[in-house]
Amino acid sequence: MLKALNISAILFACLLPGLCGAQSYRIGDFALLDSTGEYHQLSRYKDMNAVLLYVHQDSCELSDQAVAHLASFGSSFRTSSPLLAITAGPVSRFTQRLSGRNIPVMLDETGYITQSLSLSRAGSLLLLDPNSYEATLLSSPDDELPPIFNSAQSSQLAATLGAINASVDEACRLDPLPFQQRPGTPTYVDDVAPILTERCANCHREGGSAPWAMTEHRMIQGWAPMIREVLLTKRMPPSQIDADPARFNGLNHITTTEMITLINWIDAGVPSGELTQGDGDPLNSIEPYIGGWQLGVPDEIFTFAEQSIPATGVMDYIWLTLETGLTEDKWIKGYEFELGDPAVVHHARVFVQDKSFDGERGLVDIAAYAPSKSTIFYPEGIAQRFSSNDRLVMQIHYTTNGRATRDQTRLGMHYIDVAPEKTLTNPLAVNEGIMIPAGERSYATTASVVMNADSYLYAMSPHMHYRGKSMKYTAVYPNGSSEKLLSVPNYQFQWQMNYWLKEPKFLPAGTTIVADGVFDNSSANPFNPNSDIDVSWGEQSWEEMFIGWMAIAVDNQ
């Protein structure tokens, strides 16, 4: 009942004299990572009554009493009105002071979210409605609070406001935000177009998998509001990790500097600048997707059955089986996908399966396609064994785009003639015992696998279904020390990425690789097929899996 009152109660209360410290105003949805790498999106709290947001700045340090009040409120009401903090500054001892009291501190590295709060001073406490995206400044403990709070919450919140007001000086104005510290308007040709070409055009090109192509300035102008939105909600680029993107090859990632350049340019009205002076549009030079083997003619080509894709609708995964006809074992040095219509292929994964198995049993990853990732050529000295007793099994996911079409996917294999120094294997950290309660928004689970021999880690890939929220990989070494290998804080089922390290990580024998993950089975998860049921392991996408895939190389014996 309280949740049903969420939007109407806040808005009605704030329209009456004496209620709420200020009028409500819309801020829009947003997503940020906190100082521990956890992902927060305002709309992912829509099953809550409200979200309380404390605006932090290092120069406006809270008293111990105020921090204690904030921590107490956050602890007492995290299941109904969670408390978050936001800062436009870096991680510091001040932010760690808050996070150490279980107050998540979101890092607004660009400053755009802080700007949307329309505040002039730090040390403010706001009430956010995660359904309407309305914000209300809570300014005085004497103000009557909206009826979404019961008497205990109202009393504790009033005490918290009093402690904050006593601690933070009225003159504590917000420092200039990061994006405001970039002088001048970015230029389209020199600043913006190179970012779009590097970060976006692999998919957003003619014949690519994205729904529209970045062919010229006029197209960007039309899509500019959407580009801004998907950047601020972290929908694009997909599958961003939370640290050290430079360690990975071909990562879908955009830097803070690049985001500021794009959004500052959009907010300036997407000026064409140099184009008016006759300069050519750099986006005109982005070549359309062209078929053909980019690694050269493969040693062997496997052609899967042709598929029909309708113009509209949601398509389930399609599983295709292909007998190879191999008469001897092979060593795979690389592979390449050739798609009949890449505009509708969301992703594909190819497995080898010993002929003694059927269905989805005994599948071992051997190749994967995702937009802009159609080829792999393994580093010198490693290759993957391909047994003559294996068949190929492909899982392919199509997305409709308003045009009926057909696709026939081919997989080209490149072999080497002699056994490599190291064999590539794909061990899995798996937990088939998951049981996610209905409505549970943060179900944690774990799985692990031990390296029995000295090994080299080349790649990782989390696999969950629609309720998957995040996954982390950690190496626990034989001496007891540990190292974070990968963190994907915003896992998305529709973007299942392979994360290839630029330099392989040596794992001594006895190393345990631990995969820790979180599922969101709440109604606030926009991808959840049904939040009213308990969910266990299953092969269908409306069921769940928890798999930490790896590409590991070991010395040939």
Q: How far is CA 177 from CA 40, 110, 115, 122, 295, in A?
A: 20, 7, 8, 12, 46
Q: Is the pLDDT of residue 232 over 80?
A: yes
Domain 6-178: give its CATH superfamily.
Glutaredoxin (3.40.30.10)
Tell me: the pLDDT tens digits for 116-125? 999 988 999 9
**Where exactly does CATH 2.60.120.230 map onto the chain?**
300-420, 425-555
Number of alpha carbons in the 13 Å side-chain half-sphere of residue 534: 5
244's CB contacts (< 8 A; 6+ apart) are: none
When pLDDT is averaged across residues 136-147 and rounded to a whole number, the result is 82
Q: Is the pLDDT of residue 16 over 70?
A: no
The whole-number pLDDT of residue 135 equals: 95
pTM of the model: 0.84
223's CB contacts (< 8 A; 6+ apart) are: 212
d(CA 110, CA 177): 7
The whole-number pLDDT of residue 17 equals: 33
| DSSP annotation string for 110-176 | SSHHHHHTT-SBSS-EEEEETTTTEEEEE--TTSBPPTTS-HHHHHHHHHHHHHHHHHS-TT-BPPP
When pLDDT is averaged across residues 220-244 and rounded to a whole number, the result is 89
Confidence band (pLDDT; 50, 70, 90) for 137? very high
CATH number of the domain located at residue range(s) 300-420 in this protein: 2.60.120.230
Confidence band (pLDDT; 50, 70, 90) for 7? very low
72's CB contacts (< 8 A; 6+ apart) are: 156, 160
Lowest mean pLDDT among 111-115, 289-293, 387-391, 485-489: 289-293
Does the N-terminal peptide bond of residue 237 adopt cis geometry, omega within 30 degrees of 0? yes
What burial letters (b/e) apply to 302-323, b meaning 16+ CB within 10 Å?
A: bebeebebeeeeeeeebeeeee
The alpha carbon of residue 134 and the mean position of all alpha carbons in its chain are separated, in whole angstroms, by 25
The whole-number pLDDT of residue 542 equals: 84
| Residue whose structure tokens are 């955009």 | 254
| DSSP annotation string for 239-295 | S--SS-GGGEES-----HHHHHHHHHHHHTT---GGGGGTPPPGGGGPPPP--S-TT
- Which has the higher per-residue pLDDT, 507 or 377? 507
The rounded percent of the chain whose pLDDT value lies above 90 is 65
The whole-number pLDDT of residue 503 equals: 92
Confidence band (pLDDT; 50, 70, 90) for 411? very high
d(CA 113, CA 397): 34
The whole-number pLDDT of residue 21 equals: 45
Contact 72, 53 (CB under 8 A): no
Q: Is the pLDDT of residue 477 over 90?
A: yes
Cα dihedral across residues 410, 320, 534, 548: positive or negative: negative
d(CA 142, CA 20): 10
Average pLDDT, the chain: 89
480's CB contacts (< 8 A; 6+ apart) are: none
d(CA 441, CA 298): 46
Tell me: the pLDDT tens digits for 322-368? 999 999 999 999 999 999 998 888 789 899 999 999 888 888 888 98
Q: Is the pLDDT of residue 14 over 70?
A: no
* Neighbouring C-beta atoms of residue 237, cutoff 10 Å: 17
The whole-number pLDDT of residue 347 equals: 81
DSSP 371: T
Tell me: the pLDDT tens digits for 267-293? 999 998 777 666 689 999 988 866 668
Q: If you average pLDDT over each of 282-296, 305-319, 539-553, which comes out highest?
A: 305-319
Confidence band (pLDDT; 50, 70, 90) for 432? very high
The whole-number pLDDT of residue 538 equals: 86
Rg from Cα positions in the chain? 26
Tell me: the pLDDT tens digits for 32-43? 999 999 999 999
- Which has the higher per-residue pLDDT, 241 or 133? 133
Q: Could you name the CATH architecture of 425-555?
A: Sandwich (2.60)
Q: Is the pLDDT of residue 458 over 70?
A: yes
Characterise 278 by phi-psi region: left (phi > 0), alpha (psi -120 to 50), beta (else): left
Q: Where are the alpha helices (DSSP H) in 346-430?
A: none
**Where exactly does CATH 3.40.30.10 map onto the chain?**
6-178
Q: Cβ-count burial of 532 within 10 angstroms (0-12 exposed, 13-18 middle, 19+ buried)?
A: exposed
When pLDDT is averaged across residues 247-253 and rounded to a whole number, the result is 82
| Residue whose structure tokens are 């709420």 | 20
The whole-number pLDDT of residue 383 equals: 93
d(CA 281, CA 78): 51
Which of these, 193, 200, 179, lies nearest to 256 by C-alpha position?
A: 179
When pLDDT is averaged across residues 192-202 and rounded to a whole number, the result is 92
The whole-number pLDDT of residue 365 equals: 84
The whole-number pLDDT of residue 372 equals: 60
End-to-end C-alpha distance for the chain, whole angstroms: 66
Contact 93, 60 (CB under 8 A): no
When pLDDT is averaged across residues 395-423 and rounded to a whole number, the result is 93
| Residue whose structure tokens are 């040390």 | 123
The whole-number pLDDT of residue 557 equals: 65
